[in-house]
Structure 1
Amino acid sequence: MSVQLETPSINSTPKLPYAVEGLIQVFTTSHRNFFTSVMAQSLRLAGQGTSVLVVQFLKGGINQGHEKPMRLGQKLDWIRCDLPRCIDTPHLEDSETESLLHLWQHTQKVISEGKYSLVVLDELSLAINLGLIPETEVLSFLAKRPPNIDIILTGPEMPKSILDIADQVTEIRRSQRP
């Protein structure tokens, strides 16, 4: 009795018994903070060949905007709002509001296209809390994102609704010094 083994064709893709699902991670604190560990993780993954996008919604000052992403290495794109200053108030000029909304729309578009495997949405909670980006819109976007993309959200006082859907929540606290 001979056993015939099936040889896969060269063009066939092996099927995994499971789907890889991206995580929603949150890094939050009670104060405005630069999340060094998140940026280090982004650089490390990009250096290993993972496509990464870092979006800083409230940072400005370098006339960048989504049309001119900063490229760090071959795999990390870093974009900021096209603003002359950093945003720290809900009271924006019309041009600032327009720039922020363009960046938010662009971010949603490139994520839905699946161009990046990891996306960092820096200070998104502050944009929500200032009333600049609607919380319901963010929740809808997170629910509809391609399932294999990892999303990291950072910022102070992350809304409870986002904490509730996060796979991982890291809260940064200041230590009490004697």
Structure 2
Amino acid sequence: MVSQLDNPNLNLIPKPSHTVKGLIHIFTTAHRNFFTDVMAQALRIAGQGTPVLVVQFLKGGIRQGYKNPTQLSQKLDWIRCDLPRCIDTPHLDDSETASLRDLWEYTQKVVTEDRYSLVVLDELSLAINFGLIPEIEVLEFLAKRPPHIDVIFTGSETPKSILDMADQITEIRRSHTP
């Protein structure tokens, strides 16, 4: 038998009127070999029960569009462009451009729907620099996202306007040459 205390004063405790503000983190480097560190962080956070979305904007090769996410745990969804190749140039054909736009629109939609607490946007900065995704759209997305969602950008050449919005910028450098 469990006893239960009824304390009417507990109902008078005010609930916080604010939530913890989500942060914008940027991980940048001239080298393209640090994504595993960010992915390990995302897996660790998802393993603790926090819903995480990882979006790789310029990666393809495995036809893994947003309609076919890889689920690395119960709380981590990983999506890429539905393309047969990785994007390494601003010159895309119409189907590649459409796939990238669809991925960007889907990302904005699920973030707005508040499905995730952490969103990793891999190489979105390069997509902006290639002129494939308008910088102004990314700025509007960041400003309008639900306020508690953390966002991690990875990649090089992040536009100054996004750097100015960042709460944390981590530059990964090599300390020696192998």
TM above 0.5 = yes
Task: Report Cα offsets for 1:61-108 as digits up to 9, x if no partner.
Answer: 111100011011110000000000000000001000000000000000
2:9 to 6, 13, 19: 6
Q: Cα distance 1:130–1:19, how it changes in 2: closer, same or farther (>3 A)?
A: same
**Identity, % of aligned pairs?**
72
Give 5+ residue unaligned stretches, structure 1. none
Shift of residue 22, structure 1, vs aligned partner? 0.3
- Counterpart of 1:172 in structure 2 is 172
CA RMSD, Structure 1 to Structure 2 (Å)? 1.9
Work out whether 1:54 is the aligned partner of 2:54: yes
Report whether the alignment pairs 1:15 with 2:15.
yes
Does 1:152 pair with 2:155? no
Structure 1 residues 64 and 30: alpha-carbon distance in aligned structure 2, compared to 1, 3 A threshold = same
- Give the letter aligned to residue 48 of structure 2: Q
8 Å CA contact 1:33, 1:156 repeated in 2: no
Separation (CA, whole Å) in 1 of partners of 2:100 and 2:68: 15
Unaligned runs of 5+ in 2: 1-6
**2:45 and 2:14 mapped to 1: Cα distance?**
25
The CA deviation string for residues 43-78 of structure 1, in whole angstroms up to 9 with x for no partner, is 000001000000000000111100011011110000
Distance 2:162 2:17 in 1: 30
**Does structure 2 retain, via aligned residues, the 8 Å contact 1:33–1:155?**
no
> How many pairs does the alignment contain?
172
Query: TM-score by structure 1 length?
Result: 0.90
